Amino acid sequence: MRVQMLGLCRFSYLGMRGYQVEHDSIAARRAYLYESARMERRWQWFTTVALPGWLAQTDPDFTLVVMTGPDLPQPCLDHLQGLCERVPQMRLSLVPPMEYHLQACRAAVAPHVDPAADVIGHFRHDDDDAVALDYVAEARADFARVSALWQAEGRLSLDYGRGFMVEARDGQLKITPRICHNMGVALTIFLRPDAEETALHFNHTKLAQWMPGVQVNRQPMFLRSIHADSDSGDMGPGLPWQPEDGTLNLILRQRFGLRRGDLADLARRLEAGGAGGAC
């Protein structure tokens, strides 16, 4: 059974709805999203936290669509275009502002659906979060173990609930191990190739309304960032878990390709107003 892993990452997409922070007009939203200091911060989160995991996936057979607007300010648009030209798995989708966010997401993803695939593993990814280096490989393998559930309905969610909440506040970094249910990151929605929906069409907190779901918590699989620019600024419900003493730095390196010192340095620089970003 051929499974295509297909993700969508929204990078300051200029459109209405679809976010918890809302605006009354496109002009107001543009002013908020494209403010230069905010753009620098988003680029730093994207390149420091989100990007390393995608560049080093143990299974390179995936597509990550980076969705933004055609009027994204320079030089950020050039940097995104250059990145997607260099990385075979990444595709840049320039979607004009649309009133209905789900239509915009579908417009970004639809051209990249492989009609020859039997199953599409849709996933969403925020530009300041991270997945483990084996997320794609594990999602594909675990789907094979439970594919009968998908065959029954043509829909199935596979959630990796063990991970870390990374808070950057007042220049300080705090990392909290957490087990969460359908957080949104490292969550895959398996659909048929002809389905009209993407991962964004299903509220990740209410997936049980639409499909059966499986959660796997073997290894840490996600890192979710919480900071001043977060669309949602709290951890939400979950359970604590504790890595073995002295292993946190090793887990960050081996599972996510990240260094704790780099994350702490980013938190300090953002607080000081010195993001130094390429955007």
Please name which of 92, 28, 35 lies closest in space to residue 66, comparing C-alpha atoms.
Answer: 92
Q: How many domains does the chain have?
A: 1
User: Does residue 115 fall inside a structural domain?
Assistant: yes
Please name which of 77, 65, 1 lies closest in space to residue 33, comparing C-alpha atoms.
Answer: 77
The structure tokens listed for 214 are 């499986």
Res 4: pLDDT:
98
User: Does residue 279 fall inside a structural domain?
Assistant: no
User: Does residue 277 fall inside a structural domain?
Assistant: no
239 strand-pairing partners: 179
Counting Cβ atoms within 10 Å, is residue 111 exposed (0-12), middle (13-18) or buried (19+)?
A: exposed
User: Does residue 278 fall inside a structural domain?
Assistant: no
For the entire predicted model, the pTM comes to 0.94
Res 27: pLDDT:
87
User: Does residue 99 fall inside a structural domain?
Assistant: yes
| Residues lower than pLDDT 70 in the chain | 16-24, 231-233, 273-278
User: Does residue 81 fall inside a structural domain?
Assistant: yes
User: Does residue 233 fall inside a structural domain?
Assistant: yes
CATH number of the domain to which 196 belongs: 3.90.550
| Strand, helix or coil for residue 175 | strand
Res 231: pLDDT:
66
Res 21: pLDDT:
55
Residue range of the domain that includes 180: 3-272
Give the chain's radius of gyration (CA, Å). Answer: 18
Q: Which residues contact 48 (CB under 8 A, 6 or more apart)?
A: 262, 263, 266
Res 160: pLDDT:
98
